[in-house]
Amino acid sequence: MLSCKFYSPLTNFHSDEYGPHSIANRTRFLVRVIRAVRKAVGDFPISVRFGGADYMPGGSTVEDAAEAARILAREDIDLLSLSGGLCIFQRRGHSEPGFFADMAEAVKGAVDTPVLLTGGIRRPGEAEHFLAAGTADPATRWTRQASPTA
């Protein structure tokens, strides 16, 4: 995903306003995409798949993910679907259910936008555990309410 390449300091080599020098710069491309999508779809729900932490030396961190989530949440999105950075769907050395839970907890602590946790959750009881712990939100909660028409 192109937005991951801008967001990760491991792959962002820009020297302009998209460069890796700040989280605002690194999320700028994704923010502009979100704005364009919002303009095109109006009040339709928007979910953003976000590879928040690279889990690699020199890469984006869980703390970066929380700061980036604050920026993205200001863009009128309805759900943040978290995954590993650089568009990875696994975390080296981790196979436990919810192996991105540390990032989900940090992001949920930073924003009011519903957060979808991914990463090794394969059974309903595992999902229930993370919902009960407040690590993630129920997926059905992010549906936008239709506003009454006059």
pLDDT at residue 2 greater than cutoff 90: no
Q: Residue ranges per domain, the chain?
A: 2-142
- The three state secondary structure string of the chain is CHHHHHHCCCCCCCCCCCCCCCHHHHHHHHHHHHHHHHHHHCCCCCEEEEEEECCCCCCCCHHHHHHHHHHHHCCCCCEEEEEEHHHCCCECCECCCCCCHHHHHHHHHHCCCCEECCCCCCCHHHHHHHHHHCCCCCHHHHCCCCCCCC
CATH code: domain 2-142 is 3.20.20.70
Reported as a pLDDT band with limits 50, 70 and 90, residue 3 is: confident
- Are the beta carbons of 84 and 54 closer than 8 angstroms? yes
Reported as a pLDDT band with limits 50, 70 and 90, residue 147 is: very low
- Enter the pTM of the model: 0.85
The predicted-structure confidence for 70-118, as pLDDT tens digits, reads as follows 999 999 999 999 888 675 666 777 778 888 889 999 999 999 999 998 8
| Mean pLDDT for the chain overall | 86
Q: Which of 4-18, 64-78, 114-128 has the lowest mean pLDDT?
A: 114-128
